[in-house]
Amino acid sequence: MASTTFDFASWPPALSDTQLETLTVYATSYALSHGLLYLPPTASGRQPTVPSSAIHAPISLFPAPFPRKLFDQGRRIQKAYNILYARIAMDEEFLDRIMGAEEGVGKVDDFIGQLWRGWKKLRDVGLVQPLQFGLFRSDYLLHAPANEPLSIKQVEFNTISVSFGCLSQKVAELHRYLLSATNYYETSPFLKRENFPANDNITGLANGLAEAQKAYGVPGSQILFVVQTGERNVFDQRPLEYELLEKHSIHIIRQTFDELAHTASLDPSTSVLRVAVPKDIHPSGQVEISTVYYRAGYMPYDYATPADYATRFLLEESCAIKCPSIALQLAGGKKVQEVLTQPGMLERFLGDEAKYGKDGVLSQEEIEDLRKSFMGMWGLDVAEDMLTPDVDAVKAGREEFGVRKAREAALSLVLKPQREGGGNNVYKEAVPSFLDSLPPQERQAWIAMELIKSPEDTGNYLVRAGTESQAPVKAEVISELGIFGWALFGGSTKEVKEEEVGWLVRTKSKDSNEGGVATGFSVLDSLLLVD
């Protein structure tokens, strides 16, 4: 048993049928009243121009128990992660080697290759905006191996279209409301106000975007939200728009790649990005863009035609600050995550005093604090020294050491490709047959990661809209903690200005290997801090 006074197997507390029904009514009514919403699915997959209905987002009835000291650790190391990924994005040589189309992942992954080649062409001409901006989320699971203390282990680090900041704040508020309204029927001594941490994602994320706007420095310029066609998760985006307008007087324009192909243009002499709008909306017929914030562009299906790639490269070419730049998107690659576990790599980015100056390095204790969050992982293409690609094995068509090791440890592994959005990983029993089908030349795009062992027998009540009864489902669950941060960096000094700004929890049935809320695998949750 892990060393904690809280018994995870006791969760959730028992409820009578009447208590469960009342709690569900309170929760769903609150969600519908407070913008904890999704647009409903449509037969065509496209949303109407003027929305006329909404459903509540998938939610839990109880907050997820999480050790207080491990939550504090996740918040503490976010500073190191913010700096780490900012510096990776500024290291072109490293990204070319790890993610590029000549010797890295982009050589075998066409999507990554197309992004890298477009970025390389722009670099060869000369990028006009040295500043970059990132909204980040580092995701963790509790790790509870036998006879060892609980720890947190990183699942992944997200650098593009980081979602659910706004709705996570609202679900934390929902659980605090349920505590105030019902005291959860006094079913657990842990359910008390001081164990429900505050969450102010909306202010924190909007403050970051406002810093990018300030750095751009042109009064009246606007922030461009690049969104997906048929986006259902608009209620996770709109609160940032409202916060930016109300607190910072910054206006937002939302457009898809399809729309931007017709509306976006660059000034040939200044590279200023402008987006055309109807003159009865804006007198000049166009608005100048300070910051491009991507809530699209992270998956191949976001680039349905070559014109979509052309639009992405047009935006990248501009002097607007990108969130993220292509470089920062590439930095979020799974292969980068794997390479960072190799000896000396964290010290390269966080401990090199000659490169970053005395005030720009982290202590070895801070670096080790971050390293403790890593699980074991390796590339399928690596040689036996676990550091270099096994090029000879690929040429000969034989298995690399990394593949053989994955076969031997299959039941304790997940294989991850360079894909975002959920539904792409390969787990345990499926690993050997997948390795049989994977062409040798594609192995470079995959990593093997040791599975995180979450506490056993923890449950919750999950409530999803769209089912006939809307009844909560009690399930054994796994909860994932995400810590949000932002970083503004670049320029001649390569200074990194950063903050940790909040958190989320996503909870899924233990029977589900994937974790995406938007893809239907998870529900939104919040934290109950326990000792």
Output the six-digit token pair for 147.
Answer: 């006879």
Domain for residue 324, yes or no?
yes
**Which residues of the chain carry a pLDDT beneath 50?**
1-4, 515, 518-520
How many Cβ atoms sit within 10 Å of the Cβ of residue 51?
13
- Taking only the tens place, the pLDDT of each residue in 321-369 is 999 999 999 999 999 999 999 999 999 999 999 999 999 999 999 999 9
Domain for residue 457, yes or no?
no
Of 60, 138, 151, 158, catalytic: 158
Of 75, 87, 107, 137, catalytic: 137
Of 416, 485, 516, 526, catalytic: 416
Catalytic-residue membership of 334: yes
Q: Any binding-site annotation on 310?
A: no
CA atoms 183, 186, 192, 195: torsion sign: negative
Q: Report pLDDT for 519.
A: 46
Q: Pairing between strand 55-56 and 446-450?
A: unpaired
Of 75, 170, 334, 443, catalytic: 334
Q: Are residues 370 and 384 in the same domain?
A: no
Q: Report pLDDT for 68.
A: 98
Of 338, 420, 499, 500, catalytic: 420
Q: Report pLDDT for 43.
A: 76
Q: Any binding-site annotation on 365?
A: no
Of 153, 241, 506, 515, catalytic: 506
Which positions ≥6 away from 272 have C-beta within 8 Å? Answer: 266, 288, 318, 319, 320
Query: Distance between terminal CA atoms of the chain?
Result: 14
Catalytic-residue membership of 156: yes
Q: Any binding-site annotation on 371?
A: no
Q: Any binding-site annotation on 247?
A: no
- Taking only the tens place, the pLDDT of each residue in 169-185 is 999 999 999 999 999 99
Q: Are residues 175 and 298 in the same domain?
A: yes
Domain for residue 456, yes or no?
no
Q: Report pLDDT for 46.
A: 77
Domain for residue 54, yes or no?
yes
Q: Any binding-site annotation on 417?
A: yes
Q: Are residues 393 and 492 in the same domain?
A: no
Q: Pairing between strand 413-417 and 426-427?
A: antiparallel
Which positions ≥6 away from 366 have C-beta within 8 Å? Answer: 77, 80, 350
| Proportion of the chain above pLDDT 90, given as a percent | 84
Catalytic-residue membership of 158: yes
Q: Are residues 224 and 272 in the same domain?
A: yes
Q: Are residues 254 and 287 in the same domain?
A: yes
Q: Are residues 146 and 266 in the same domain?
A: yes
Domain for residue 464, yes or no?
no
CA distance 58 to 466: 10
* Total number of domains in the chain: 2
Q: Any binding-site annotation on 233?
A: yes
Q: Are residues 222 and 333 in the same domain?
A: yes
Contact 193, 261 (CB under 8 A): no
| Proportion of the chain above pLDDT 70, given as a percent | 94
Q: Report pLDDT for 421.
A: 57
Which positions ≥6 away from 483 have C-beta within 8 Å? Answer: 74, 75, 78, 137, 138, 140, 500, 502, 503
Q: Any binding-site annotation on 285?
A: no
Of 163, 290, 373, 479, catalytic: 163
Catalytic-residue membership of 506: yes
Write out the residue range of the structural domain in which residue 318 sits: 8-377+475-530
Domain for residue 205, yes or no?
yes
Q: Are residues 118 and 222 in the same domain?
A: yes
Q: Any binding-site annotation on 380?
A: no
Q: Report pLDDT for 30.
A: 98
Q: What is the CATH number of the domain that holds 393?
A: 3.30.1490.50
Domain for residue 461, yes or no?
no
How many Cβ atoms sit within 10 Å of the Cβ of residue 392?
10
- Taking only the tens place, the pLDDT of each residue in 101-143 is 998 999 999 999 999 999 999 999 999 999 999 999 999 999 9
Output the six-digit token pair for 77.
Answer: 């190391």
Q: Are residues 270 and 301 in the same domain?
A: yes
Indicate the residue among 431, 448, 465 that finishes a domain.
448
Q: Are residues 438 and 484 in the same domain?
A: no
**pTM across the whole model:** 0.94
Q: Are residues 56 and 143 in the same domain?
A: yes
Catalytic-residue membership of 421: yes
Domain for residue 469, yes or no?
no
Q: Are residues 388 and 248 in the same domain?
A: no
